[in-house]
Chain A
């Protein structure tokens, strides 16, 4: 039992501190929001340290329900960075937008806890519980500005569709349990390895279950054709919440997708590979073409994130260690680009009011040159122009696809990234070559400048010193496949 508890130390710490902060908020009332938010950031930092310091050997505890390994540690690190930065960025936003309630940081902490549990799931049951803890918190945060119609609408939409996706996932999980007699990932992997060694096809029920589970997970990463909620939720939710949605939960869902497909279903590659290829191609196409006509920057970011998910899924579709490494690198770079871009979007205010039209960025280079430069870096990187980090993210997944002989997938990926470059470059054109419209208010607070600066520097200088991320991703991918 002691070893069990020591293994889940980061999660345990996060859960207990979130509850303690909840108590603090309840007893101190609404004025304590700032304090709770600050302490939440501290909690996230300490959790990050606990994840970082834990040994990265593979340990399975709680009777096979929970796993700690190098892959989980890397992904948890990314998730905690995403949460921490989103919390810092939401600091002044929630005050200005009149949504400063102490429950906001608490719900984000619980969502993060759910994500950590998802990443560490080693059983269909712990997978589901972690996923639900995360989703339930996210539904509430999406509807957090309950007095505005759009926020409540986005929360409700997310809830209804999310519940449907959970239902599909559970249906798939129950079929798999029914046909194999176990929910444990290791046992499932052993069972499928036996089937494969005997040269038999897995039974039909297992394949149907696998398809349903893949559908549920695709919803959580918002891959086409399960993406419908994304633009509406991203647009309707408060911007600070959108910044959070686009960072940490995406990483967590992607990590879970990778773990489920490569772990228990690793021997069924032939069965799921074509599904992943199909949703990857569809996501890339939709991300590239649907974003062209958008006028709201938040909707644009939603379609852009759908496209990015498509690229990251190329790595999973390859089904190899190089593919998983590409997926991890892609998600790392995606996280940095996204947090930077949302720091810029959160600074888009005119006369104390948030604006979110793409046209409002016109002539930004003259009114706020540094902000425009940072945004230009992020946009070039998202478009995948060398030598920025986004290019390397795409490079590694395409290389993995070519190694796995998925030429069509790689070619479509390159073509859609050319189409996608159109709307990223359009933003740069608006900022640098159009006449300025009304200038934005001065960016509020140093933390935004800091996020923009650090993210911009990381993207710009990635090619000089890429080895920490490349090696980290390699170790993490090896750890996932070793299990």
Chain B
């Protein structure tokens, strides 16, 4: 138990600290690296509460794909960070004030947290105990049945994102040689090979 508590505080503290570093690091590449650290600690926290599937997905999807993509983008684009940072201090007082108010509200809200007695009964899909079904199986058993509508709709959202990315960025460039497999396959010997008699001691 004590080991669990210690690891929770370690992971949580590192996650918060690296989240702060994400927005305060001078170099954008460092920011992305801190983001990776933050995600990694969040994954560890998931595993601590027994949600091993979510933890692994976080590592695979967010660390493996999303942040690495971020890293590429940040390295490829030449972003002038100094200019982006102009006026950062100017907005700090008002931003800090709003943040402080939100934190205070959060404390009030969480302080008032009581589990209503009827919550257990109202929960739509209770999580089965771990010895009966693993997390992954429990998620899978509702994702494609109970929540199939949401699953399909999320697919449409992703499709729109893909179409949008293509619309906004794809440019057809003139003068680019493209491979045409049909043309390649239909080439005949006559078009492509030319036989020349080469006289001895003469060039082609």
Q: Which of A101-109, A218-226, A329-337 contacts B (4 or more CB under 8 A)?
A: A101-109
Contact B161–A136 (Cβ < 8 Å): yes
Neighbour of B157 across the interface among A125, A132, A144, A205, CB < 8 A: A132
Evaluate contact between B154 and A129: CB separation under 8 angstroms.
yes
Question: What residues of A have a CB within 8 angstroms of the CB of B154 in the complex?
Answer: 129
Return the CB mask of B28-63 against A: 1 if under 8 Å, else 0: 000000000000000000000000000000000000
- Asked whether, in the complex, the Cβ of B146 is within 8 Å of the Cβ of A63, the reply is yes
Instruction: Verify B147–A113 contact, CB threshold 8 A.
Output: no
Q: Which residue of B lies closest to A155 (CB)?
A: B168
User: Distance in Å from the Cβ of A468 to the closest Cβ of chain B?
Assistant: 33
With A133-B157, A204-B109 known to touch, is A183 a contact of B164 (CB < 8 Å)? no
B150 within 8 Å of A (CB atoms) = yes
Contacts A106-B163, A107-B160, A129-B157 given; does A175 touch B109 at CB 8 Å: yes
Decide: A187 and B122 in contact? CB cutoff 8 A.
yes
Instruction: Mark out the residues of chain A between 169 and 214 whose CB falls within 8 Å of any chain B CB in the assembled complex.
Output: 175, 178-184, 187, 191, 194, 203-205, 208
C-beta contact mask, A144-181 vs B, less than 8 Å → 1, else 0?
10100000000100000000000000000001001111
Is A83 interfacial (CB 8 A cutoff)?
no
Is B114 interfacial (CB 8 A cutoff)?
yes
Contact B156 A110 (CB under 8 A): yes
Minimal Cβ-Cβ distance residue in A for B121:
A181
B 66-101 binary contact with A (CB < 8 Å = 1; else 0): 000000000000000000000000000000000000
With A133-B160, A140-B168, A143-B168 given, is the CB distance from A180 to B122 under 8 Å?
yes
Residue B116 at the chain A interface, CB threshold 8 Å: yes
Interfacial residues of chain B within 114-156, with CB under 8 A of chain A in the complex: 114, 116, 118-120, 122-124, 146-150, 153-154, 156
Nearest CB on A from B91, distance (A): 15
A136-B160 in contact (CB<8A): yes
What residues of B have a CB within 8 angstroms of the CB of A183 in the complex?
124
B193 within 8 A of A: no
A203–B112 CB distance below 8 A: yes
A250, B9: Cα distance in complex, Å: 46
B150-A107 in contact (CB<8A)? no
A65 CB within 8 Å of chain B: yes
Q: Contact flags (1/0) for A18-35 with B, using CB distance below 8 Å?
A: 010010000000000000
- Asked if residues A140 and B119 are in contact (CB atoms below 8 Å), the reply is no
Q: Check if A203 sits within 8 Å of B119, measured CB to CB.
A: no
List chain A residues, Cβ under 8 A from B159: 19, 110
Does A139 lie at the interface of the complex (its beta carbon under 8 Å from any beta carbon of B)? Answer: yes
Point out the residues of chain B lying under 8 angstroms from A8, CB to CB. 149
Nearest CB of chain B from residue A67's CB, rounded to whole Å = 12
Given A204-B112, A205-B112, do A137 and B160 touch, yes or no (CB 8 Å)?
yes
Whether A204 contacts B167 in the complex (CB less than 8 A), given A117-B153, A133-B153, comes out as no
Per a CB cutoff under 8 Å, which of B116, B120, B149 touches A126?
Answer: B149
Contact of A107 among B110, B119, B149, B167 (CB under 8 A): B167
Residue B108 interfacial (CB < 8 Å): yes
Q: Is the CB of A181 within 8 A of B157?
A: no
Is A130 engaged at the interface, CB distance under 8 Å to the other chain? yes
Q: Are B124 and A182 in contact (CB under 8 A)?
A: yes
Q: Is the CB of B150 within 8 A of A129?
A: yes
Residues of B in contact (CB 8 Å), total 31
A residues contacting the other copy or chain, number (CB 8 A): 46
Question: Could you tell me if B164 and A101 are in contact, using CB atoms closer than 8 angstroms?
Answer: no
| B113 lies within 8 A of chain A by Cβ | yes
B109, B113, B122, B149: the one contacting A181 at CB < 8 Å is B122
CA distance A183 to B157 in the complex (A): 21
| Alpha-carbon separation in the docked complex, A199 to B159 (Å) | 47
Interface of A is mostly: helix
Scoring A residues 390 to 422 as 1 if CB is less than 8 Å from chain B, else 0, what string do you get? 000000000000000000000000000000000
Q: Given A180-B122, A181-B119 in contact, is the A208-B164 Cβ separation under 8 Å?
A: no
Q: Indicate if A433 sits at the interface (CB-CB under 8 A).
A: no
Q: Min CB distance, B74 to chain A, in Å?
A: 18
Q: How far is the CA of A117 from the CA of B156 in the complex (A)?
A: 12
CA of A125 to CA of B143 in the docked complex: distance in angstroms? Answer: 13
B residues near A66, Cβ cutoff 8 Å = 149
With A129-B154, A183-B124 in contact, is A103–B114 under 8 Å at CB?
no
A146 to B166, CA, bound (A): 12
Cα of A180 to Cα of B123 in the assembled complex, Å:
9
* Minimum CB distance partner of A123 in chain B: B150
Interchain CA distance A204-B122 in the complex, whole Å: 20
B-chain residues with CB within 8 Å of residue A208 when the two chains form the complex: 105, 109
| Residues of chain A within 8 A of B167, CB atoms compared | 101, 103, 107, 140, 144, 146
CB neighbours of A143 from chain B (8 A): 168
Contact B123 A181 (CB under 8 A): yes
| A30 (CB) vs chain B CBs: closest residue | B172
Q: Give Cα A110 to B120, complex, Å.
A: 38
Chain B residues with CB under 8 A of A62: 148-149
Q: Are B124 and A179 within 8 A (Cβ)? A: no
Contacts of A191 in B (CB 8 A): 116, 118, 122
Cα distance A103–B159 when bound, in Å? 12
| Min CB–CB distance B98 → chain A (angstroms) | 13
Given contacts A117-B153, A140-B164, A203-B114, 14 further A-B contacts (CB under 8 A): A4-B149, A19-B159, A63-B147, A65-B147, A107-B164, A132-B157, A133-B156, A140-B160, A175-B109, A182-B122, A187-B124, A203-B113, A204-B108, A205-B113
Residues of B within 8 A of A (CB): 105, 108-110, 112-114, 116, 118-120, 122-124, 146-150, 153-154, 156-157, 159-161, 163-164, 166-168
20 A-B pairs within 8 Å (CB atoms) are namely A8-B149, A22-B163, A103-B163, A110-B156, A113-B156, A125-B150, A126-B150, A133-B153, A137-B164, A140-B167, A144-B167, A146-B168, A175-B109, A180-B122, A181-B122, A183-B124, A203-B113, A204-B112, A205-B109, A205-B113
